[in-house]
């Protein structure tokens, strides 16, 4: 199985669209327009997009988030540079020297995050966030304003998707546009009545800032089961080998047993029976599956299980290297295996 197996054009477009938390409309529009016109789609007031595939059985919701990490313009400096704040957990390590896209009222402006020349490395250690500034090739605040830039405009990484080697892809926003892609594939492939459940595929908002943007959708659908689809940390690089877990690219999707951000009151422990069913389904269909027990991260599923009347929940993850940087890297085979696993799972009695 190689890159030919994925719909590369759809993936490239889906990843390229800017969609920071609270500004996901373009992503939702693209997903909506890519699905069949006969699809039963609805959008709620917060921007969550849901595709309903009716069937007999429990109300099951599968969720993936549309938003990506980014930056928001805070101040325009007299020399034309911009000071910014982070929208979500944008990697500080990856920022200095990176190319960005600034989305102003006049369109997209190429930008770069300033970085100290290597020759002056001895002046100060690696930046803290307060030292970050954005260069948009303007020489005054007035010129910057004339370019249409104002506080509240947002920036995303300028990093189009690239397919590399036999089966890898690299770019921005794989977290969690790969989840969105997986849901889009399911929406295209599953037929009403074919399933053992009444299925809702929901593309949610505001995960990277709040985790809980999908709450209104859960409250209105009142699912009995929720399945979360998101990225997880891969530990298959030289700096991380042997730490925390053995999750690696290409070894299959991961099934979550726990995640937590210590000290942030964000933690998820899935329903055990449901998670066992995921493992059995993978085994029966010879789909590779990795075990995920992750600290330092949490996903949308964490608050969503407490919405409405509560739901039994499990979560599946696509392993991704270099999370929240412009070089997020994942394996096409894990994405395809996730689609296969979910398709089989939705045929079982959840």
Residues in contact with Zn ion, shown as a per-residue x/- string from 214 to 253 under the rule CB under 5 A: ----------------x-----------------------
Angle at which helix 8-16 crosses helix 174-189, to 10 degrees, equals 140
Residues 6+ apart with CB under 8 A from 117: none
207 as an active site residue: the answer is yes
Query: In terms of CB distance, is 90 or 104 closer to Zn ion?
Result: 90
When asked if residue 175 is in the footprint of Zn ion (CB under 5 A), the reply is yes
Cα distances from 177 to residues 70, 190, 209, 212, 291, in angstroms, run: 14, 20, 16, 17, 22
Work out how close the CB of 38 gets to Zn ion at its nearest, in angstroms, rounded to a whole number.
Answer: 30
Please give the Cα distance from 226 to 5 (Å, whole number): 28
Query: In terms of CB distance, is 275 or 298 closer to Zn ion?
Result: 298
* Local structure of 77: helix, strand or coil: coil
Place of tokens 């009716």: 54
> What is the separation, in whole angstroms, between the first and last Cα of the chain?
29
Whether the CB-CB separation of 205 and 22 falls below 8 Å is answered with yes
Work out how close the CB of 324 gets to Zn ion at its nearest, in angstroms, rounded to a whole number.
Answer: 9
Please give the Cα distance from 314 to 269 (Å, whole number): 8
Query: In terms of CB distance, is 24 or 230 closer to Zn ion?
Result: 230
Query: In terms of CB distance, is 173 or 187 closer to Zn ion?
Result: 173
Work out how close the CB of 16 gets to Zn ion at its nearest, in angstroms, rounded to a whole number.
Answer: 17
* Residue 336, CB-side half-sphere exposure with 13 Å CA sphere: 15
**176-205: contacts with Zn ion (CB under 5 A):** 176
Backbone angles phi, psi at 345, to 5 degrees: -65, -40
Work out how close the CB of 120 gets to Zn ion at its nearest, in angstroms, rounded to a whole number.
Answer: 36
Query: In terms of CB distance, is 16 or 176 closer to Zn ion?
Result: 176
Whether the CB-CB separation of 236 and 321 falls below 8 Å is answered with yes
Neighbouring CB atoms inside 10 A of 81's CB total 17
Distance, CA of 27 to chain centre:
12
Q: Which of 24, 68, 207, 328 is catalytic?
A: 207
Closest alpha carbon to 230 in 60, 14, 13, 62: 62
Residues in contact with Zn ion, shown as a per-residue x/- string from 128 to 167 under the rule CB under 5 A: ----------------------------------------
Please give the Cα distance from 168 to 19 (Å, whole number): 23
Size of the site for Zn ion (CB under 5 A): 3
Place of tokens 């330092």: 296
Work out how close the CB of 237 gets to Zn ion at its nearest, in angstroms, rounded to a whole number.
Answer: 19
Work out how close the CB of 231 gets to Zn ion at its nearest, in angstroms, rounded to a whole number.
Answer: 5
Query: In terms of CB distance, is 16 or 224 closer to Zn ion?
Result: 16
Q: So which residues are the catalytic ones?
A: 207
Residues that bind Zn ion (CB under 5 A): 175-176, 230
């Amino acid at each position: 199985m190689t890159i030919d197996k994925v719909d590369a054009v759809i993936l490239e477009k889906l990843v390229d669209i800017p969609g920071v938390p609270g500004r996901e409309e373009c992503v939702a529009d693209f997903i909506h327009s890519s699905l069949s016109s006969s699809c039963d789609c609805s959008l709620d007031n917060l921007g969550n997009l849901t595709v309903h595939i009716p069937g007999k059985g429990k109300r099951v919701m599968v969720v993936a988030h549309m938003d990506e990490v980014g930056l928001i313009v805070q101040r325009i400096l007299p020399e034309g540079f911009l000071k910014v704040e982070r929208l979500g957990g944008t990697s500080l390590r990856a920022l200095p020297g990176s190319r960005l896209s600034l989305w102003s009222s006049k369109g997209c402006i190429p930008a770069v995050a300033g970085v100290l020349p290597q020759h002056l490395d001895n002046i100060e250690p690696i930046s803290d966030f307060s030292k970050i500034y954005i260069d948009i090739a303007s020489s005054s605040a007035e010129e910057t304003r004339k370019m249409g830039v104002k506080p509240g405009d947002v920036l995303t990484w300028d990093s189009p998707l690239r397919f590399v080697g036999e089966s890898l892809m690299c770019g921005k926003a794989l977290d969690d546009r790969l989840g969105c892609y997986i849901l889009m594939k399911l929406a295209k492939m599953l037929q009403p009545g074919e399933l053992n459940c009444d299925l809702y595929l929901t593309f949610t908002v505001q995960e990277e800032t709040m985790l809980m943007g999908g709450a209104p959708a859960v409250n209105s659908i009142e699912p009995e089961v929720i399945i979360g689809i998101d990225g997880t940390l891969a530990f298959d690089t030289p700096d991380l080998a042997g730490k925390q877990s053995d999750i690696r690219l290409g070894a299959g999707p991961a099934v979550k047993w726990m995640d937590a951000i210590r000290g942030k009151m964000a933690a998820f422990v899935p329903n055990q029976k449901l998670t066992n069913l995921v493992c059995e389904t993978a085994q029966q269909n010879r789909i590779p599956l990795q075990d995920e027990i992750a600290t330092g991260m949490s996903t949308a599923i964490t608050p969503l299980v407490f919405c409405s009347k509560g739901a039994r929940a499990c979560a599946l993850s696509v392993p991704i290297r270099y999370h929240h940087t412009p070089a997020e890297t994942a394996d096409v085979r894990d994405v395809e295996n996730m689609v296969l696993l979910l398709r089989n799972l939705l045929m079982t009695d959840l």
